Amino acid sequence: MPNRSEARGIVLIGAQWGDEGKGKVVDLLAGRCDAVVRFQGGHNAGHTLIHEGRTVVLHLLPSGILSPGVECLIGNGVALYLPQLFEELRSAPASHRQRLFVSPGCPLILPSHIALDQAREKHAGRRRIGTTGRGIGPAYEDRAARRAVRAGELFAPEAFRERLRLAMDLHNFMLKQYYGAETEDPERVADEWLGMAEELRPMMDDIAARLRRLRNEGKSVLFEGAQGVMLDIDHGTYPYVTSSSTVAAGALAGSGARLEHVAEVIGVVKAYTTRVGEGPFPTELKDAAGERLAREGAERGATTGRPRRCGWFDAVAVRHAAQRASINSLCITKLDVLDGLDSLRICVGYRLDGRGIDTLPSSMSRYGDCQPRYEECEGWRESTRGATRWEDLPPPARAYIKRLEELTELKACIISTGPARGQTIIRRHPFAR
Ligand code: GDP
Ligand code: IMO
Ligand code: MG
């Protein structure tokens, strides 16, 4: 009989504004699990892995793909841009395809979604969101409007063509009449997409059923979040958010996994904060200290190459994320980036309308008016780069981590001290039996 008590499902999500280092941690944990599942977002994600000394950036493929024998699943919640999927597959060994399974329920991103995303951003001017321009918002809008074309529909060509035409007629109307932008030809897109169907066919699978089987067989599954809780469509800094559910519950809705499959939710945070795109960011540093974090942390977007905005760790935002997303432990990354600072700051509360608050304001529209209240911490001169043992960290670095744990009311099971797999302190392995 399968031993269900051993079948651990762990959800790993970003607990800030994305780019927390999820890719590195998933790649590390993949060595001890049987399957990795993407469940939301699309190729707006950029997850960086270091493999045999080489940097690999994945946008759609789950970060378990470099670990032999690990099944990689793309659940129904992922907005799928097929040209990107095949591009990533082409730059990987052919055998990787045999471990990749894609849900027929994935809404497809079409060229007209990308055109709409970009036209809107241009039209919005200084009110823009600062999206990645990958068509994510428009594709999820079509899903909610029940007009999306889904991956499984590619195998009934005539019906596919008709539904694609219906959706694209509307896209083209908006592109031309509202934004004065170039339109896309539905017949050309239909031909091109139908031309990819056969390549996709062997990967199509019922992801929920596969997850059920994995669980019954006592296998370990890692659910890989994209973006971060502060970019969640409901719980993030609306409207400066992405268009999917980045909270742990998104892992269930976006894959069909059972609620009781999830044993733990790990929130990944940087030891400081970054954000790409527009929107409020209370601890942002627009001075030399921010430039230093950007430089030492090599903070440039893995998807768009845009510089990331940098600031101090915001314990209020992480507490908010932890509450909204059911996070019950932390993984803290990029500790090494803070090496060499005389002192550091942690945001422990905000000031709004002259009053101190220690949560986000009840209306997100006021978030941009919140000023950070800081606590000062002692810095350290020694290098933590590559440290693998807690005892080897300089005492002020340990005190800093402990303070983050106190303020967030969460224990850090993993501390990352460099971009490579081995540059990690594992205090408790999430998949340890
Ligand atoms: P993700 O989107 O959450 O997967 O994160 P990204 O890959 O977009 O950005 C994280 C960046 O930090 C990547 O360039 C990683 O290689 C790098 N990185 C991850 N962990 C560490 C760390 O502990 N220290 C340093 N210096 N870099 C790290
Ligand atoms: P990973 O998975 C950081 C941001 C964009 C923009 C907002 C909406 O690598 O952490 P979208 O294209 O999703 O409509 O853009 O969300 N954003 C990310 N920021 N990391 C990401 O992914 C992001 N994906 C989207 O910059 O502010
Ligand atoms: Mg990223």
Look up the CATH number of the domain holding residue 156.
1.10.300.10
d(CA 245, CA 86): 25
Q: How many angstroms separate the Cα of 27 from the Cα of each of 66, 68, 202, 357?
A: 7, 11, 25, 38
385 and 321 together in one domain:
yes
Q: Are residues 278 and 260 in the same domain?
A: no
- Give me ligand 1 centre to Cα 124, in Å: 31
Q: Is 191 marked active-site?
A: no
Residue-number span of the structural domain to which 403 is assigned: 269-426
Q: Cα–Cα distances in Å, from 218 out to 5, 8, 23, 302, 358?
A: 7, 8, 24, 35, 42
- CA 56 and chain centroid, separation: 16
Asked if the structure places residue 127 within a domain, the reply is yes
In a domain, 432, yes or no: no
Structure tokens at 426: 């594992």
379 and 292 in one domain?
Answer: yes
Ligand 1: residues within 6 Å at CB?
Answer: 14, 18-24, 46-48, 298, 302, 333-334, 336-337, 416-419
Does residue 94 fall inside a structural domain?
Answer: yes
- Look up the CATH number of the domain holding residue 369: 3.90.170.10
402 plus 281 within the same structural domain = yes
The gap between the terminal CA atoms of the chain, to the nearest Å, is 18
The reply to whether 25 and 84 lie within a common domain is yes
Helix axes 157-173 and 186-194, enclosed angle (nearest 10): 140
Domain contains 433? no
**Last residue of some domain: 198, 229, 247?**
198
Do 77 and 129 lie in one domain? The reply is no
Cβ partners under 8 Å of residue 117, min gap 6:
131, 133, 134, 135, 136, 137, 138
Quote the ligand 2 centre to 162 CA distance (angstroms): 32
Question: In sequence order, which residues have a C-beta less than 8 Å from that of residue 372 and are 6 or more positions away?
Answer: 282, 283, 312, 314, 347, 349, 350, 351
Q: Considering 198, 227, 251, which residue would you say is the last residue of a domain?
A: 198
Whether 142 and 88 share a structural domain: no
Instruction: Tell me: do 19 and 131 sit in the same domain.
Output: no
State how many domains the chain has.
3
Nearest CA to ligand 1 atom 8: 19
Distance CA 379, CA 206 (A): 50
**Residue 2 maps to a domain:** no
* pLDDT tens track, the chain, 433 positions: 344 445 699 999 999 999 999 999 999 999 999 999 999 999 999 999 999 999 999 999 999 999 999 999 999 999 999 999 999 999 888 889 999 999 999 999 999 999 999 999 999 999 999 999 999 999 999 999 999 999 999 999 999 999 999 999 999 999 999 999 999 999 999 999 999 999 999 999 999 999 999 999 999 999 999 999 999 999 999 999 999 999 999 999 999 999 999 999 999 999 999 999 999 999 999 999 999 999 999 999 888 888 999 999 999 999 999 999 999 999 999 999 999 999 999 999 999 999 999 999 999 999 999 999 999 999 999 999 999 999 999 999 999 999 999 999 999 999 999 999 999 999 999 998 7
User: CA–CA distance from 125 to each of 12, 118, 141, 393 (Å)?
Assistant: 35, 11, 21, 46
Counting from 1 in the atom list of ligand 2, the atom nearest the Cα of 131 is 15
Q: Residues 377, 231: one domain?
A: no
Do residues 181 and 230 both lie within one domain?
A: no
Q: Are residues 123 and 145 in the same domain?
A: yes
150 in a structural domain: yes
Cβ < 6 A, ligand 2 pocket = 14, 17-19, 44-47, 129-132, 134, 136-137, 226-228, 231, 242-243, 276-277, 302
Marked catalytic residue, from 27, 34, 43, 47: 47
CATH number for the domain harbouring residue 44 = 3.40.440.10
Q: Which domain-ending residue is among 182, 198, 214?
A: 198
Strand 54-58 versus strand 47-51 pairing type: antiparallel
139 CA from centroid of ligand 2 (Å): 15
Phi then psi dihedrals of residue 47, to 5 deg = -110, 120
Ligand 1 atom with minimal separation from the 57 CA: 7
DSSP string, 59-109: SSS-TTTTSTT-EEEE-TTS-B-HHHHHHHHHTS-GGGGGGEEE-TTPBBP
For residue 224, being part of any structural domain is answered with yes
Look at residue 99 and tell me if it is in a domain: yes
Beta-carbon contacts of 323 under 8 Å, excluding residues fewer than 6 positions away, are none
Residues 357, 413, single domain; the answer is yes
Q: Is 96 a catalytic residue?
A: no
Predicted TM-score (pTM) of the model is 0.97
Distance from residue 44's CA to the centre of ligand 3 (Å): 8
